[in-house]
Amino acid sequence: PLILMSGYPPPIGFGTEGQPGMPGSAYNQPGYPPNAGQGFGAPPGPGYGAPQGPPYGAPQGPPYGAPQGPPYGAPQGPGYGAPPTAPGYGAPAGPGYGVPPAPAYGGPPAGPNYGVPPGPAYGGAYPAPGYGAPAGPGAPPGSYGQPPVCSGYPGATAYPGGTPPVPTVGAQVAGIPTVRPVAGFNPGSDAEELRQAMRGLGTDEQRIIAVLSKRSAAQRKQIAEKYKASYGKSLEKALKSELSGKFEDVVLASLMDPAELQAKACLDAIDRLGTKEMTLIQVLLPATNAEVARIREAYSRMFKRNLEKDIMGDTSGDFERVLVAMLQGCREETMVANPQQAAADADALYNAGEKRLGTDEGTFTRVLTQRSFVQIREIARCYQQKYGKTLQKAIEKETSGYFEKTLVAIVKYAENKNELFATWLYETMAGAGTRDTDLIRLVLVRSELDLEDIKRAYEAKYKKTLARAIEGDTSGDYKRMLLAIVN
Q: Where are the domains of the chain?
A: 187-243, 258-330, 339-415, 418-486
Output the CA–CA distances (angstroms, integers) from residue 379 to 86, 157, 277, 345, 391, in the order listed.
20, 17, 26, 7, 8
Domain 187-243: CATH superfamily is Annexin (1.10.220.10)
Fold observed for domain 339-415: Annexin V; domain 1 (1.10.220)
- 17-58 pLDDT, tens digit each: 333 443 443 334 444 444 444 443 444 444 433 444 444 444
Domain 418-486: CATH superfamily is Annexin (1.10.220.10)
Residue 11 near residue 345, CB atoms below 8 Å:
no
Tell me what pLDDT residue 11 has: 39
Task: Select from 431, 413, 434, 432 the least CA-distant residue to 422.
Answer: 413
Q: Is the pLDDT of residue 187 over 70?
A: yes
363's CB contacts (< 8 A; 6+ apart) are 29, 348, 349, 351, 352
- 131-159 pLDDT, tens digit each: 433 344 444 443 334 444 565 443 333 33
Average pLDDT over residues 318-345: 97
- 286-301 pLDDT, tens digit each: 999 999 999 999 999 9
Q: Rounded CA gap, 96 and 151, in Å?
A: 15
- For domain 258-330, which architecture applies? Orthogonal Bundle (1.10)
Tell me what pLDDT residue 173 has: 63
Neighbouring C-alpha atoms within 13 Å toward the C-beta of 156: 27
The answer to whether domain 187-243 and domain 418-486 are alike in fold is: yes
36's CB contacts (< 8 A; 6+ apart) are none
Q: Rounded CA gap, 457 and 366, in Å?
A: 30
Q: Rounded CA gap, 165 and 88, in Å?
A: 11
Helix, strand and coil in the chain, % to nearest 5? 45, 0, 50
